[in-house]
Amino acid sequence: MHRIAVIPGDGVGPEVVAEGIKVLEAAGEALNIGFEWRRYPFGAEHYLSTGETLSEESLKELSACDAIYLGAVGDPRVKPGVLEQGILLKLRFHFDQYINLRPVRLYPGIETPLKGKKPEHVNFYVVRENTEDFYVGAGARVRESGRVELEVVRRLYRLRFGVEVEKEGSEEVAFQLGVVSREGAERVIRYAFELAEREGMSRVTGVDKANVLTHAYSLWREVFDSVAGEYEGIETEHTYVDAVTMYFLTKPEHFQVVVTPNMFGDILTDLGAQIQGGIGLAPSGNINPEGVSMFEPVHGSAPDIAGKGLANPVAQILAGALMLRELGEPRAAELVERAVAETLREGVRTPDIGGRASTSQVGDAVAEKLRELAEY
The C-alpha atoms of residue 326 and residue 329 are separated, in whole angstroms, by 7
What crossing angle do the helices spanning 330-345 and 359-374 adopt, rounded to 10°?
Answer: 120
- How many angstroms separate the Cα of 271 from the Cα of each of 66, 245, 275, 282, 373? 31, 8, 6, 11, 32
Instruction: Check if 242 is active-site.
Output: yes
Beta bridge partners of 204: 236, 257
Characterize the bridge pairing of strands 67-72 and 293-297: parallel
> Shortest CA distance to 303 belongs to which of 71, 96, 117, 116?
71
Q: Which of 107, 135, 191, 217 is catalytic?
A: 135
Q: Which of 133, 208, 266, 352 is catalytic?
A: 266
Q: Which of 242, 251, 304, 308 is catalytic?
A: 242
Instruction: Check if 66 is active-site.
Output: no
> Shortest CA distance to 330 belongs to which of 338, 322, 342?
322
The C-alpha atoms of residue 121 and residue 107 are separated, in whole angstroms, by 11
Instruction: Check if 270 is active-site.
Output: yes
3-state secondary structure of 173: strand
Instruction: Check if 266 is active-site.
Output: yes
> Shortest CA distance to 265 belongs to which of 209, 216, 225?
209
Instruction: Check if 352 is active-site.
Output: no
CB 91 within 8 A of CB 28: no
> Shortest CA distance to 180 belongs to which of 235, 122, 148, 135?
135
Q: Which of 90, 96, 247, 270 is catalytic?
A: 270
The C-alpha atoms of residue 313 and residue 256 are separated, in whole angstroms, by 26
Q: Which of 90, 96, 167, 209 is catalytic?
A: 209
Catalytic residues: 135, 209, 242, 266, 270
